[in-house]
Structure 1
Amino acid sequence: METIAGERAPDWSSEQWQTRARGWVDEQLAAAGRRITGAVEPRVRPWSLVWRVPTDGGPVWFKANNQGTVHEAVLIATLAELTPDRVLTPIAVDPQRGWSLLPDGGESLRDVLGRDPDLAHWERALPGYAALQLATAPRADELVALGVPDHRPEVLAGLLADLLEDRESLRIGAEDGLDPETYERLRAEVPAYAERCRRLADLGIASTIQHDDLHDGNVFAGPDGYRYFDWGDASVAHPFGTLLVTVRSIRYAAELAADDAALVRLRDSYLEAWTDRYDRRTLVEAADLAMNLGAVSRSLSWRRALDTVDPARAEYAEAVPGWLAELFAAAPLQPDS
């Protein structure tokens, strides 16, 4: 198995690192017949650095991931191979360093919804994402071997048990952490959580890539259709875990009640891709289970993203315990009619 060796604590501000990265970008653009025409525009987070790079063929985007999200580079290359109409095809990737260079994707679904907040846009975007997941399912084991985190139902309960031993990340007793009572409730919940994982696995829906942060800011909505990007939080998992973040983000943006019928319609537009092999009742049960179990996946994703010595991580530290506590707050959508 190839080991992906990204940089856990890269000093992205150092002249040495920037010279090396800029040289790589120059080299890849030259191979593509393009050249840089101006200063790069940086955006730095604890888990990644992004440069907007102006070129004579339009802007491109360079991304460097830290060790916790380094799998994104190899993942986007694989997705571009499997579903080239659903993602941006990278100009270049360096899986070992977690670097990628992508063309500009145009406006996002968030931009579109800002002009026209009709949820029909989401009804059209979700089936394409489902198609990507179905196309990727046969390669799930390969993706795990390449370093994409494994959050499949068969292992998720064990990951929860391990996470509960990481008292530093959970910040037990701290103002922005888990209170001791919630922590003990979570420890007591592990057997019931494991049983729900077994039930989800027994339903037989194949695990695949799961974006785990699919909101309107991570979908391009161009003339060639919808394309899905920013895969740093992704894992190989039950596909329907996507719905936790996606439905919640739509609900808050549209100011809808948790059981609004519009959210049920969106869920069903997503599930439609599986109706040729599973009955509707099974799909709805699986969606409810995956949404409930998904809080653990989100907590694990955040812990990986914050696996860095960058002091800026403190700004986001509450996300790890915060998402884990959501395990008690997750509620299914209203039953399918």
Structure 2
Amino acid sequence: MSRTVTVVLVDAAGRPLGALPPFDVPDPWWQQVASIVDGVRHRHGVDVAVLRLLDADRPRPPGGHVRYLAQLTEASVAAAPVMPLEPVAVDLAPHPLRQPWAEPGGPARSVAWAVDELRRLGRPVSAVAQQRTWNLSAIWRLDTPPGAAWLKQLPPFAHHEPTVLTWLTTLPLPTSLASPVDQGVRVSVDLSGEANSLVNDAGVGPGVLAVGGEGRVLVEDVVGEDRYGAGEAELAGIAVVHHAVQVRAVGTVGRLVADGVPDLRGARLSGWIRRWLAGHDVSAAAELLDGLDERLRQVRDCGLPDTLVHGDLHPGNVRGDGTRRVVLDWADAFVGHPAFDILRLAEGLAAPAAARLTDAWADRWRADVPGCDPQRAVDLLRPVAPLRLAAAYAMFLAGIEPSEHPYHAADVPAALARAAAETRR
């Protein structure tokens, strides 16, 4: 599957110039824009910064014919050849939910900040390549002599990711840990030997180089490939390392919350879900919502501590080169129940493999928190996991301008349907 794209150009002041002829790009995912930038340069000899999605000929990604707004770079404005631009009608009115990187001049300001930060670190930038832009992030690759760095810019509802990344990169490595938690449980786990080695070898997040305003964070490159399609053995290894991270996080949840990481512990999760799903048709999950408070009370009684939750721990958010794996994209992180991450990691596995993964996870928690009941917690939270995702998608929709709603509009009812199906299981 591919995409057909039409690029509508504006100048540095945001004045419309016209639309370039449509062309095809090989990747179907609307937020991926590197191939669009390359296609414009190859066909027309100019450089652009893609600002945002304008519209598409289908209700949701991927594929189809998609229109984007893009700004000519200053160098291209000065030396632009004659291009085959067509007059085009496009709404360029301001919108209160538009992100800084989606405005003319926004990408240039963000890249300039990153270039200055890298120069301060003794890493002059030789090339910049825009990779992605959509409602959840904008991402650029910056090449420097020691290696690449990555600039990521986040919307307000994800501004806590740099906090999490910084915490991960300064993660203490004690030989043991014993931390009191809200439920009165004490966690005691040996973190010497193999567990410490696993965390150190794996890397729990990319190295943070700088944190700036408007949701900007600059991180080190992570060598390897995204681990989409990882097999059961690799997922098991990811789960082991992530467990060690979550055990360490138990004693720091108060600090993480104080620093802006969302607090979705216990009853707060119920209130957060209802808040964001208000106004959506939740009839499919009405039974689950009606009993949510009692279900979460039973989860609390299972005795597991609250900790740092990645929020979207699938293998595509893990990058590895065969010897080292690093967990990426902590923008959905929150403080809450650790079972949410193992449920996400097990998605897509055949039932026997998923059961083995969750059973091993439960064994680790039983060893670290004597008397807890992790398996019951997993069973109780199985329908709550897609319900939480539905609320997260609803939060995204509430925080983005209407032209970008197709990214997530179908996700809310789909997640609610999954929650209902798990409730009936």
Q: Could you state the TM-score of these two structures normalised by the residue count of structure 1?
A: 0.80
CA distance in 1, matches of 2:141, 2:422: 37
Compared with structure 1, are the counterparts of its residues 239 and 67 closer, same or farther at alpha carbon in structure 2 (3 Å cutoff)? Answer: same
* Alignment counterpart, residue 86 of structure 1, candidates 191, 204, 207: 204
* Alignment counterpart, residue 137 of structure 1, candidates 226, 235, 250: 250
Say whether 1:152 aligns with 2:269.
no
* Alignment counterpart, residue 103 of structure 1, candidates 220, 223, 227: 220
Residue deviations 1:71-114 (CA, integer Å, cap 9, x gap): 112221122222674222211123x5221111111223526x5x
Compared with structure 1, are the counterparts of its residues 265 and 281 closer, same or farther at alpha carbon in structure 2 (3 Å cutoff)? Answer: farther
Q: Is the 8 A contact 1:66 1:308 kept in 2?
A: no
CA distance in 1, matches of 2:388, 2:340: 8
Q: Identify the structure with the greater helix proportion.
A: 1
Q: How does 1:146-225 map to 2 (within 5 A)?
A: 146-165=259-278, 167=279, 170=280, 172=281, 181-182=283-284, 186=286, 188-222=287-321, 225=324
Q: 2:191 maps to which residue?
A: none
* Alignment counterpart, residue 396 of structure 2, candidates 301, 305, 311: 305
**Shift of residue 244 of structure 1?**
2.8
**SS at structure 2 position matched to 1:286:** helix
Compared with structure 1, are the counterparts of its residues 277 and 332 closer, same or farther at alpha carbon in structure 2 (3 Å cutoff)? Answer: farther
Q: Is the 8 A contact 2:346 2:354 kept in 1?
A: yes
Q: Is the 8 A contact 2:382 2:422 kept in 1?
A: yes
Q: Which moved more, 1:131-140 or 1:82-91?
A: 82-91
Compared with structure 1, are the counterparts of its residues 266 and 327 closer, same or farther at alpha carbon in structure 2 (3 Å cutoff)? Answer: same
Root mean square deviation of aligned Cα: 2.6
Larger Rg: 2
CA distance in 2, matches of 1:324, 1:331: 11
* Alignment counterpart, residue 125 of structure 1, candidates 226, 238, 244: 238
Q: 1:175 maps to which residue?
A: none
**SS at structure 2 position matched to 1:149:** coil
Compared with structure 1, are the counterparts of its residues 205 and 129 closer, same or farther at alpha carbon in structure 2 (3 Å cutoff)? Answer: same
Gaps of at least 5 residues in structure 2 are 1-95, 173-199
**Shift of residue 67 of structure 1?**
1.3
Residue deviations 1:277-326 (CA, integer Å, cap 9, x gap): 34698111112222222223212322333312161232321212322332
**SS at structure 1 position matched to 2:127:** coil
**SS at structure 2 position matched to 1:92:** strand
Q: Is the 8 A contact 1:28 1:92 kept in 2?
A: yes
Compared with structure 1, are the counterparts of its residues 77 and 27 closer, same or farther at alpha carbon in structure 2 (3 Å cutoff)? Answer: same
**Shift of residue 30 of structure 1?**
1.5
Letter in 2 for 1:162: R
How many residues align structurally? 300
Q: Could you state the TM-score of these two structures normalised by the residue count of structure 2?
A: 0.65
Say whether 1:323 aligns with 2:415.
yes
CA distance in 1, matches of 2:164, 2:97: 18
Say whether 1:23 aligns with 2:112.
yes
Q: Identify the structure with the greater strand proportion.
A: 2
Letter in 2 for 1:270: W
CA distance in 2, matches of 1:71, 1:33: 27
Compared with structure 1, are the counterparts of its residues 148 and 303 closer, same or farther at alpha carbon in structure 2 (3 Å cutoff)? Answer: farther
Q: Is the 8 A contact 2:277 2:390 kept in 1?
A: no
CA distance in 2, matches of 1:294, 1:225: 29
Letter in 1 for 2:135: P
Residue deviations 1:108-159 (CA, integer Å, cap 9, x gap): 3526x5xxx6421111121001111111121112222222222212322222
CA distance in 2, matches of 1:92, 1:310: 32
**Shift of residue 9 of structure 1?**
2.6
Gaps of at least 5 residues in structure 1 are 1-6, 173-177
CA distance in 2, matches of 1:159, 1:314: 23
Compared with structure 1, are the counterparts of its residues 12 and 204 closer, same or farther at alpha carbon in structure 2 (3 Å cutoff)? Answer: same
Compared with structure 1, are the counterparts of its residues 277 and 126 closer, same or farther at alpha carbon in structure 2 (3 Å cutoff)? Answer: closer
Compared with structure 1, are the counterparts of its residues 52 and 332 closer, same or farther at alpha carbon in structure 2 (3 Å cutoff)? Answer: farther
Q: Is the 8 A contact 2:303 2:371 kept in 1?
A: no
CA distance in 1, matches of 2:402, 2:142: 24
**Shift of residue 329 of structure 1?**
1.6
Q: Which moved more, 1:209-218 or 1:278-287?
A: 278-287
Q: Is the 8 A contact 2:125 2:143 kept in 1?
A: yes
Q: Which has the higher contact order (CA 8 A, sep 6+)?
A: 1
CA distance in 2, matches of 1:204, 1:282: 7
Letter in 2 for 1:284: Q
Letter in 2 for 1:316: H
Q: Which moved more, 1:44-53 or 1:137-146?
A: 137-146
Compared with structure 1, are the counterparts of its residues 29 and 237 closer, same or farther at alpha carbon in structure 2 (3 Å cutoff)? Answer: same
Letter in 1 for 2:383: N
Say whether 1:12 aligns with 2:101.
yes
Compared with structure 1, are the counterparts of its residues 86 and 160 closer, same or farther at alpha carbon in structure 2 (3 Å cutoff)? Answer: closer
Q: Which moved more, 1:101-110 or 1:196-205?
A: 101-110
Say whether 1:276 aligns with 2:373.
no
Q: 1:244 maps to which residue?
A: 343
